[in-house]
Amino acid sequence: MRKLLVFQHAPSEPLGVLDPMLRRWGFRIRYANFARDPGLQLDLTRYNGLVVLGGPMNVDQADQVPHLLTEIAAIRDALRLNLPVLGICLGAQLLAAALGASVRPNRVREIGWYRLQPALEAGEDRLFRHFDGSQHVFQWHAYTFDLPPGAVHLASSESCEHQAFRFGERAYGLQFHLEADEALIRRWLDVPAYRAELETEAGTDGVAHVLRETHARVGASLNLSERVFHEFIELFEWRPTLRFASR
């Protein structure tokens, strides 16, 4: 049985549609809860892969949220072990930071559905060959990252240049939420702090607008996520020769 380690930062931000896919493939999932156990020590050699989820904190808040540094160190361990790694939203930013890239506020907050533009290299990538430039993905972030040294740029949006990257052959950072279905997005809209953030950005009609867009776009997004996450899960079946260089 393959064992997957998941860093979850908020109860409202689980694996989403990725959870049942992983369980169908026979994965045993362990959630690391740093909020409950901030001194948690992890041995990455006990796992076959790592997923780092989103959350309301930011990478530059390690003075307030010290476990972010523990996570960055664990991500580096996973990379050295050639484990498949998937970072989503905050997780992508932590992966970028682990690889030495700058993480900083984006010029605008992206909350809602945005068209994703694949980079030239996307057509040769096993996950991103499924993106053709017509798809909209769900976003909820205020920060962005520089492309890490040695990484492959895979996608952008009109208001955020670095939406996705690959490092090596089995580590991916996705700024957007391909794991989110309509139920999960509604769950986020019911979180008072998240709802207030959206209304600050988009006004009192912001929630209704997101719900309308979600109803119209989530079906295509779920079809896309099924294909993309299937490709990620298949990364567990082989090991490349590339090694992560120690810093």
Helix (H, G, I), strand (E, B) or coil at 220: helix
Residues in a beta bridge with 32: 7
Contacts for 123 with CB less than 8 Å, ≥ 6 apart: 129
In DSSP terms, 67 is beta-bridged to: none
How far lies 181's CA from each of 37, 103, 123, 136, 163, in Å? 29, 27, 25, 13, 19
Catalytic site residue 160? no
Amino acid identity of residue 93, one-letter, is Q
Helix 182-189, helix 206-234: angle, nearest 10: 130
Residue 45 gets which letter from DSSP? G
For residue 8, give the DSSP letter.
-
Residue in 67, 153, 162, 177 annotated catalytic: 177
From 13, 110, 179, 197, the catalytic residue: 179
Residue among 67, 89, 110, 160 flagged as catalytic:
89
Annotated catalytic, 182? no
Contact between 200 and 221 (Cβ < 8 Å): no
Residue 116 CA to residue 134 CA, distance in Å, equals 7
237 closest CA partner among 26, 67, 93, 89: 26
The residues annotated as belonging to the active site are 89, 177, 179
